[in-house]
Amino acid sequence: MTPPAAPDLRVAGASIDASGWGWRHAGRRAWAVRDLDLRIDPGERVLLLGASGAGKSTLVHALAGVIGAAEEGEEQGRLLVNGSSPAAARGQVGLVMQDPDSQVILARVGDDVAFGCENLGVPREEIWRRVRDSLAMVGLDLPLGHPTSALSGGQKQRLALAGVLAMRPGLLLLDEPTANLDPAGVLEVRESVARVLEHTEATFVVIEHRVGVWQHLINRVIVLDPAGGVLADGRPGDVLPAEGDRLSASGVWVPGIAHDLPARRRAPQASDRLLGTQALAIARTRDAVVARDIELEVVEGAALAITGPNGAGKSTLALTLAGLLKPAAGRVLADPRLSGGAPAEPIRWKSRQLLTRIGTVFQDPEHQFVAGTVRAELSVGPLALGLPEPVISARVDTLLQRLRIDHLAEANPFTLSGGEKRRLSVGTVLATRPGVLVLDEPTFGQDFRTWREIVALLAELIDAGTAVVAVSHDAEFVAALADSEYRLAGSLDARPDRLVTL
């Protein structure tokens, strides 16, 4: 595909006006956003920050006019896009949501990108011109008939971006567009956005916990205060240095601020092996092996990081180690200290036997939820173990507090914010105190404060003898916790996978 010959994206940027605006989701007593006074001028490029649960996603959903009808919540004050209500301005606003999977609408790449244009009544020839331009702009070089079900996470992210660009929006809203992408993917998406911004005058709002990624593309930072209103607002060069400490304390990931990271205290002993593999090959379906000849050890009181590009098989490996997926070949073997009477291979353990031995946090937190409230969700494991009631509630209360979700104890797990869901899913596993913890992207979507809390919690557990296996794209997380790193190369003929001791 050739780079686009200066596609015509010159739509006028939209303005945003909020006065005393707030929103409370139906079924909640607390306001997600309240008392917000804000003006964003056409063409401004804004980074929207704020602690997890501060209401960032709620705000951008409202701006896109998709927050729902009156029966889905309660509004206060006024929110205007280009002087009219967001629902009326739908179509002028392009939103890329926090979860790329739920944004694919149609079965073929071309149709999916065209969908927005069709809804806006764009003539047919113009639609296909825009589709090709948009795909080129985000660097998605695929045939128009390519099935959308066969896209990687990063490709889906870019598809969503292309679909939005084809609508030629005056306001472009991105909600954590790089969560779950590998570092190369993050750069690619950022480059795509940079390219788009060169060609458009649209107003741009991006949500991201890590300031570093977008710092050079934005000219204004707005920090939402979880208690309502705005905590800080201004040019990145002014706000970040001046308010760095305050922002950092409230959960913003400010570059250049020296963090006092929680540290590990105890060095692991290599002799304390809990789990090991022999010539392991992993696959989701029998005939599609993604990596083979894996030899690694999981050691008591130590952390092993699994890294590699998107689609390399990290999650597949984690699930296989955790006894949830059959090895394609070779074996996963638990040492007697871990198996304690159960068979040697975790895949043959009963569901209840897994609970105290290996706990797994899934990449998609929603896959893990089985109960109707946050508190019930945390109690599922301990109940299955038959623990006495006082023990259960003590454990659950401690976890609720440490993970900062105590105010949500009675909320439905699926209504939590992205970051809250992630913390809850980590909590469900900690509740049964397994000997080995397998965590798939435990820190994605976290603000700095909760990130540090999760690292501290894990460091404590490791020092107390738990073995941790963590899949992560997060280099800081790996640096802070891991004793060794297993790198999956991403293709069977590329450089071999390797184990690095850190």
Partner 1 sequence: MHATTTPLIPAQTTARKPRNLRWRVVDIVVASVIGVASGLIFFAWNTAYVPLSAPLTPLLPGLQALLGGGWLFAGVLGGLIIRKPGAALYTELLAAVVSTLIGNQWGPLTLVSGLAQGLGAELVFAVFLYANYRAYVAVLAGAGAGLALAINDLVLWYPGSAAAFATIYTVSAVVSGAVIAGLLSWLAMRGLARTGALGRFAAGREIRADV
Partner 2 sequence: MTATATATPGNRGILRVNPVAKLAAALLLAGVLVLTIDWVSAAVALACELVLFFWAGMSFRIFVLRTLPVWLAAPAAGLTTLLYGQAAGAEYWQFGLIHITDGSVELAVATLLRVLAIGLPAVVLFVTVDPTDLADGLGQVVRLPARFVLGGLAALRLVGLLMEDWRALERARRARGIADRGVIRRLSGQAFALLVLSIRRGSKLATAMEARGFGGTTTRTWARPSDFGRREVALIGLGLFVGALAVAVSVATGSWNFVLG
Ligand X SMILES: Nc1ncnc2c1ncn2[C@@H]1O[C@H](COP(=O)(O)OP(=O)(O)OP(=O)(O)O)[C@@H](O)[C@H]1O
Distances (CA, A) of 14 to 20, 26, 56, 120, 225: 20, 29, 19, 17, 24
Q: Which stretch binds partner 1 (CB under 8 A): 8-16, 47-55, 177-185, 240-248?
A: 47-55
309 vs 435, beta carbon nearer ligand X: 309
Q: What is the DSSP letter of 17?
A: E
Q: Report the alpha-carbon distance of residue 478 to residue 473 in Å, rounded.
A: 8
239 vs 358, beta carbon nearer partner 2: 358
57 vs 320, beta carbon nearer Mg ion: 57
Strand partners, 283: 289
Among 42, 43, 68, 330, binds partner 1 (CB under 8 A): 68
Q: Which two structure tokens, joined as six digits, stand for 456?
A: 């501290």
- Window 302 to 321, contacts with partner 2 (CB under 8 A): 319
Ramachandran angles phi, psi of 253, nearest 5°: -85, 85
Enumerate binding residues for ligand X (CB under 6 A).
Answer: 25, 27-28, 32, 50, 52-58, 153, 182, 284-285, 290, 308, 310-316, 363, 408, 415-420, 445
- Window 158 to 197, contacts with partner 2 (CB under 8 A): 163-164, 167
Among 18, 33, 55, 57, binds Mg ion (CB under 5 A): 57
Q: Can residue 286 be called a binding residue for partner 2 (CB under 8 A)?
A: no
250 vs 363, beta carbon nearer Mg ion: 363
- CB contact at 8 A, 202 and 169: yes
Residues in the interface with Mg ion (CB under 5 A) total 6
Q: Which stretch binds Mg ion (CB under 5 A): 71-79, 100-108, 274-282, 416-424?
A: 416-424
What, of partner 1, partner 2, Mg ion, none, does residue 346 touch, CB below 5 to 8 Å by kind? Answer: none
186 vs 438, beta carbon nearer partner 2: 438
- DSSP element (H, E) containing 366: none
Least distance from ligand X to the Cβ atom of residue 299, Å:
23
What, of Mg ion, ligand X, partner 2, none, does residue 413 touch, CB below 5 to 8 Å by kind? Answer: none
Q: Can residue 152 be called a binding residue for partner 1 (CB under 8 A)?
A: no
Strands 273-283, 230-234: parallel, antiparallel or unpaired by DSSP?
unpaired
H/E/C letters for each residue in 430-477?
Answer: HCCCCCEEEEECCCCCCCHHHHHHHHHHHHHHHHCCCEEEEECCCHHH
**Cα atoms in the 13 Å half-sphere on the side-chain side of 126:** 12
What, of ligand X, Mg ion, partner 2, none, does residue 277 touch, CB below 5 to 8 Å by kind? Answer: none
Query: Cα–Cα–Cα angle for 11, 124, 3, nearest 5°?
Result: 55
